[in-house]
């Protein structure tokens, strides 16, 4: 994507000229494109630039004092910008979201333009003024950072063409924006160039339908030949995997005490049946905390691990434990590889419908009604993510195990049962815990059931 944008601006390419492009893991391509074509400014960026400028010494003392004074102004103006954004947050419908729509009014726009002006002035001074001694690398870094701030603020100033939001975290906020017409840009800059391109991934389609990915990436604008194909998994799911669909958990209510208790009870039954060796996938960190709270007091005979935001060490600890239980949300849904018996029970608490955010709010306006948006966007995105989660279990030909789905909407009379089952690999199904126990006894060696499991001496 960086190469594509450089070519668009007639700059030196990063990649040699090519005759064909193969994009693997293409289900992540939209996320990358949004990032590369979009803008993001952290509330920590401008204070950090100020601190870096204070570590630089210019030969001209007057210029040195002036640049430090101006760096203070940049940091202060950044603070005013984020205060203005925070005051203009539009309340979200879902308390799990960390993305909030913001109104870019005249005051916010003025702060954006002031940040650009001050960053531009600082970059000019640093380019013109020599240093007293060492620090050339640090100076070049600050100039580069100021140029990035200028690019971002130029984009933010064109708010009418953007979807803008504020991401909130404990230690920082991030002002973010993506193009409304990203699909059109991708067609113009990539697909419309006439270079043959292959997009491949294990989760590009929803029930064999590529409409969603084609629409979001602008592939539906291509006039020339577009070929699509789906291939079955090479793994023997029919013999090596069992799908357990719970009939014991009520309709999802992430904050409901009865629902959380029911989930905790079902998770306990399943991890006892699998003798640990389990990962429990949530769509909500809050729900994960509450379920863990119940289970922590039950004296379960397995090591328990929690994968919080940004954590990866717990995955390695889980692998080495042999029969541990890993509770996770977010990162574990895709890209995590745990082959072998360490992960033999994958529990999916809830169908992974996306949390509403400013992007989905805008996308909804492009469709005739909510039913059409749900059919063409919400359901395909959920199916693709569910397939990614399901794929965490069987990683190599010899893997065996159970995937459990606790969402009643996939139950015997559930509204999404047919859609979900059509999307997942063909494997045996049950709603009985005893069938889970029998399956694992049939598939696993004796050492699997020994405390400490696969890592026992």
Q: Look up the domain containing 86 and give its range.
A: 38-168
Look at residue 429 and tell me if it is in a domain: yes
CA angle (172 as vertex; 167, 174 as ends), nearest 5: 35
Distance from C-alpha of 106 to C-alpha of 109, rounded to nearest angstrom: 5
Same domain, 163 and 242: no
Looking at residue 428, its pLDDT comes to 96
In sequence order, the 6+-apart residues with CB closer than 8 A to the CB of 287 are 254, 260, 263, 349, 350
Same domain, 370 and 289: yes
Last residue of a domain, one of 168, 193, 224: 168
Same domain, 291 and 403: yes
Last residue of a domain, one of 120, 135, 168: 168
In sequence order, the 6+-apart residues with CB closer than 8 A to the CB of 436 are 242, 244, 270, 273, 274, 345, 402, 404, 430
Q: Render 144-189 in DSSP notation, one character per residue.
A: HHHHHHHHHHHHHTTGGGEEEEEEE-SS-EEEEEEETTHHHHHHHH
CA-wise closest residue to 252 among 355, 354, 382, 350: 350
Please state the three-class secondary structure of 213-248 as a single string.
HHHHHCHHHCCCCCCCCCCCCCCCHHHHEEEEECCC
CA-wise closest residue to 420 among 377, 383, 371, 374: 383
Give strand ranges (E) for 13-69: 21-23, 39-42
Question: What's the pLDDT tens digit per position in 96-132?
Answer: 678 899 989 999 999 999 999 999 999 999 999 988 8
CA-wise closest residue to 115 among 84, 161, 141: 84
Same domain, 386 and 245: yes
User: Rounded to the nearest 10 degrees, what angle do helices 61-87 and 45-54 cross at?
Assistant: 170
Looking at residue 457, its pLDDT comes to 33
102 token code pair:
């913001």
Look at residue 201 and tell me if it is in a domain: no
Looking at residue 208, its pLDDT comes to 84
How many domains would you assign to the chain? 2
Same domain, 158 and 282: no
Instruction: State residue 232 phi and psi, 5-degree precision.
Output: -70, 160
In sequence order, the 6+-apart residues with CB closer than 8 A to the CB of 13 are 3, 6, 7
Look at residue 303 and tell me if it is in a domain: yes
Look at residue 401 and tell me if it is in a domain: yes
Looking at residue 88, its pLDDT comes to 83
Looking at residue 94, its pLDDT comes to 58
Look at residue 291 and tell me if it is in a domain: yes
Look at residue 435 and tell me if it is in a domain: yes
298 token code pair:
């039950």
Look at residue 16 and tell me if it is in a domain: no
Predicted TM-score of the model (pTM): 0.86
Q: What is the CATH number of the domain that holds 390?
A: 3.40.50.300
166 token code pair:
């504020």
Q: Judge contact between 212 and 381, C-beta under 8 A.
A: yes
Last residue of a domain, one of 168, 194, 222: 168
Distance from C-alpha of 182 to C-alpha of 188, rounded to nearest angstrom: 10
Look at residue 372 and tell me if it is in a domain: yes
CA angle (279 as vertex; 275, 284 as ends), nearest 5: 140
Same domain, 334 and 433: yes
Same domain, 442 and 306: yes
Same domain, 404 and 266: yes
Q: Which residues of the chain have pLDDT under 50?
A: 453, 455-457
Q: What is the CATH number of the domain that holds 154?
A: 1.20.120
Same domain, 163 and 248: no
For residue 409, CA distances in Å to 213, 385, 387 come to: 25, 16, 16
Same domain, 305 and 411: yes
Same domain, 243 and 363: yes
Same domain, 279 and 159: no
């Amino acid at each position: 994507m960086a190469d594509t944008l450089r070519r668009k601006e007639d700059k030196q390419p990063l990649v040699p000229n090519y005759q064909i492009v193969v994009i693997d893991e293409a289900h992540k391509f939209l996320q990358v494109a949004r990032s590369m074509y979009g803008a993001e400014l952290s509330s920590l960026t401008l204070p950090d630039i100020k601190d870096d400028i204070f570590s630089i010494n210019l030969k001209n003392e007057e210029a040195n004092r002036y640049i430090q004074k101006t760096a203070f102004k940049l940091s202060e103006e950044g603070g005013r910008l984020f205060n203005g954004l925070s005051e203009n947050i539009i309340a979200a419908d879902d308390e799990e979201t960390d993305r909030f729509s913001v109104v870019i009014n005249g005051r916010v726009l003025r702060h954006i333009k002031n940040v650009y002006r001050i960053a531009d002035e600082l970059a000019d001074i640093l380019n013109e003024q020599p240093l007293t001694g060492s620090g050339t690398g640090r100076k070049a870094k600050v100039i580069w950072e100021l140029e990035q701030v200028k690019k971002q603020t130029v984009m933010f100033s064109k708010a009418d063409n953007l979807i803008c939001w504020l991401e909130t975290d404990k230690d920082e906020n991030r002002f973010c924006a993506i193009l409304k017409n990203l699909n059109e840009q991708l067609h113009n800059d990539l697909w419309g160039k006439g270079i043959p391109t292959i997009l491949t991934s294990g989760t590009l389609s929803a029930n064999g339908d590529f409409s969603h990915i084609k629409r979001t990436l602008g592939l539906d604008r291509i006039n020339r030949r577009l070929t699509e194909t789906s291939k079955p998994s090479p793994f023997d799911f029919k013999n090596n995997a069992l799908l357990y669909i719970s009939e014991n958990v009520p309709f999802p209510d992430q904050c409901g005490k009865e629902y959380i208790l029911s989930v905790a009870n079902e998770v306990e039954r399943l991890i006892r049946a699998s003798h640990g060796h389990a990962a429990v996938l949530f769509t909500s960190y809050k729900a994960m905390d509450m379920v863990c709270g119940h289970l922590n007091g039950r004296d379960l005979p397995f090591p328990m691990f929690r994968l919080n935001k940004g954590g990866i060490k717990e995955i390695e600890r889980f692998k080495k434990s042999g029969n541990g239980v890993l509770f996770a949300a977010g990162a574990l849904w895709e890209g995590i590889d745990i082959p072998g018996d360490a992960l033999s029970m994958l529990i999916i608490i809830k169908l992974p419908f996306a949390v509403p955010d400013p992007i989905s709010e805008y996308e909804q306006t492009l469709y005739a009604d909510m039913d059409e948006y749900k059919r063409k966007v919400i359901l395909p995105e959920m199916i693709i993510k569910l397939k990614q989660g399901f794929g965490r279990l069987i990683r190599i030909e010899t893997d065996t195990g159970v995937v459990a789905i606790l969402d009643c909407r996939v139950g015997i009379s559930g509204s999404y049962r047919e859609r979900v089952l059509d999307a997942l690999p063909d494997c045996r199904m049950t709603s009985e815990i005893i069938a889970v126990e029998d399956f694992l006894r049939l598939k696993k060696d004796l050492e699997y059931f020994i405390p400490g499991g696969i890592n026992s001496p």
